[in-house]
Structure 1
Amino acid sequence: MHTNNSLVREVGTAIGVGVLAGLAGTLAMTVSQMIEMKLTERKPSTVPADAVAKVLDVKPTNKQQKEKVSQEVHYTYGTTWGIPRGLLTLAGLKGWEATLAHFVAVWGTEQIMLPNLKLAPPINEEEPQAIATDALHHAVYAIATGLVYDAIDQS
């Protein structure tokens, strides 16, 4: 049985460790994307800034500002997604099961959100290579986030 204080402490710890793990996962995903962009000569995505522009009805003032906003949103979004990873563990999912559920939640949200914002086609209209590349980057994120979470949280 949990006392109120121990429950608050457990939730706070899950959130805090999740934030740290989410930041680590975002860094790993960023490295993964940088390597892929170098190999494929793909330009950096502005989708994060485009999403913020649509949702909040704001616009970066120039291309340089848009790239900066995209990076800020990428790191904030990825770091924040670490919180659900912590809550999954708190709910009893651990290890690879929690990592898989986290991957499904993160990538699944993207598959719903971006087409609804008209920033990407639905997955059934995407090229297989684009789907595989996107899934790979999100898998790198989820796995790195899970490994870091599990390494910190030894409970």
Structure 2
Amino acid sequence: MTMAWGRSAAVGVGAGAAGVVAMTLVEKLEQRITGRPDSYVPARTLERLLGLAHARGRRAWLHNLAMHASQGAMLGALRGVMAGAGLRGPWASLMFFAVRLTNDQTFENASGVGAPPWTWPRDELVVDLAHKAVYAFATGVVADALAVRWGPGPGQVHAEEFPGRRRHIGPPPRA
């Protein structure tokens, strides 16, 4: 069975955009409840990575939006490929959650804007993890719902050939 890589990635970009919308809605709700102000870490990271001047006001908001939305959509391509390959459901979304966190932390720490999460105040860490989980699982729900229309992915086909947990099962022969 061959996977349609381009189709899977394109679906993932859309799923990632949906995940960004879900994360943003949850974030705005959380901010209304907690009174926490907007974070401009995405804007500052983008500015440092691209060598842009430190922006304020509407321009900083636009940089924030650009980084937030582009990261979410582009990472969504990976989740779409995962779904196309047959990595679907909560386990796949949990794996993708780790990818999202790793992506953010790599850019934020490499640019000098962020610090390792284990050095953060616990309340900030919990909020960030919760928002990224919303993104990862919302992206997964959309990617999986679209991928299921194509039938099982190659990984699922392989798993169906040898159900249950077994040792020493190699790849199936090529068709």
TM-score, normalised relative to structure 1: 0.87
> Which residue identity lines up with residue 71 of structure 1 in the other structure?
L
Matched with 1:95 is: 89
- Structure 1 consecutive aligned stretches of length 4 or more whose deviation exceeds 4 Å: none
The 3-state SS of whatever aligns with 1:105 is: helix
Deviations 1:10-38 (A, max 9, x none): 11110111011101100000001101111
Distance 1:26 1:112 in 2: 19
Q: How high is the sequence identity, in percent, across the aligned residues? A: 31
CA contact (8 A) 1:23 1:79 kept: yes
Distance 2:143 2:102 in 1: 21
> Which residue identity lines up with residue 149 of structure 1 in the other structure?
A
Matched with 1:69 is: 63
Q: Does 1:22 align with 2:26?
A: no
Instruction: Provide closer, same or farther for how the CA distance between residues 61 and 109 of structure 1 changes in structure 2, counting only shifts above 3 A.
Output: closer
> Which residue identity lines up with residue 41 of structure 1 in the other structure?
G
Larger Rg computed on CA atoms: 2
CA contact (8 A) 1:60 1:69 kept: no
Superposition pairs for residues 119-138 of structure 1, below 5 Å?
A: 119-138=113-132
Larger mean Cα displacement after TM superposition, 86-95 or 140-149: 86-95
The counterpart of 1:109, out of the listed 99, 103, 126, is 103
For structure 2, list consecutive stretches of 5 or more residues without a partner in the other structure.
Answer: 152-175
Displacement, 1:58?
Answer: 0.9
Instruction: Provide closer, same or farther for how the CA distance between residues 130 and 62 of structure 1 changes in structure 2, counting only shifts above 3 A.
Output: closer
Matched with 2:161 is: none
* Matched length: 149
TM-score, normalised relative to structure 2: 0.78
Q: Does 1:141 align with 2:135?
A: yes
Bigger helix fraction: 1
Matched with 1:118 is: 112
Alpha-carbon RMSD across the aligned residues, in angstroms, is 1.6
Matched with 2:78 is: 84
CA contact (8 A) 1:19 1:83 kept: yes
Larger mean Cα displacement after TM superposition, 62-71 or 137-146: 62-71
For structure 1, list consecutive stretches of 5 or more residues without a partner in the other structure.
Answer: none
